[in-house]
Structure 1
Amino acid sequence: MTSPPDPAEFRRVVGRFATGITVVTAVADGVDHAMTMNAFTSVSLDPLLVLFCVEKKARFHKVVLDAGTWAVSILGEGSEAASSWFATRGRRWEDQLEGWATHRGEVTGVPVLAEAIGALECRTHSVHDAGDHTVVIGEVLSAGSPSEADPLLYYQGAYRTLRSE
């Protein structure tokens, strides 16, 4: 029996899979919270379902599980600053979205980034344990395209666009 791959090698190999970048937002106790996610995908058309994976030790983990509703802002090229900010560990707990243009989702009231090229409002459908992460599956309550741009991508540890060389 062979041993499992080294975690660093695993990370290098899966880094070869290009992903889009999202910011997931939720509201807890009247406070807006957000976190960058690239582990996001559509799941089902009937019913409409999406999922994201959140690290259990992240502060956002408890927030999004307790909130029950959340929004996904799909980032476009030029949104590297937003992606980096909402991925920063230990950033201030209050006013995380201060300085970022947002609007409230019409269905959930959860903030959506104005610069998003796609936006989804969701209600938690199910939650699944997955090692050091939790898989959160959401029922899509609304969908829209707030702005137009090519997507922001993440590949081999760096931001890319469709025109990257």
Structure 2
Amino acid sequence: MAHYGKNYKYTTFTATEQAKIQKTNGKNYIYQYIKAGKVSGWIWYGYLKNGNAPRSFNSYKLAVEDYAQGSLIQTGVINLATDFGDLGDVFIYFYDEDEYDSEEQVDQDISTFSNIYNLFQSRFTETERTHLTNMINQVKSEPFQEEHYTLSDELSELASALGLAIGSLN
């Protein structure tokens, strides 16, 4: 049975054998025998990458929904996000920090952003990781006050930066 790699981009395979084949043009090619569950077969090694397969968008979305429970972005994540671009847009366009009633709500959103950042951290570039880590640390260190303009602005900037980074994933 023939399989197409495009159908298994979220599957982690294990290579169990390797063969070196000399084609009629005199060039040598390396093929590996790979397996994942009931799916197995020979594939040219150039089509493979080391490491685990990335998670699917839906698995990320479910994790973000869990983290967003009770936060100001919850409705947007559940109702609007169908891909990484939409998910990023939820942070950029639907995050409204003006609705804070309490320090607990601020802490909830900071925790939500931190958890979501940690979820995607390995997929971001080093520059994005450095920038977002600094932004999260800055927001965490900012004291809550009744007139929380600085904190509101920083949370809004964090939401936008995190949204842009998530939206650029594919």
TM-score of the superposition, structure 1-length normalised?
A: 0.23
Decide which structure has the larger Cα Rg and report it: 2
| Greater share of residues in strand | 1
Structure with larger RCO (C-alpha < 8 A, sep 6+): 1
TM-score of the superposition, structure 2-length normalised?
A: 0.23
| Greater share of residues in helix | 2
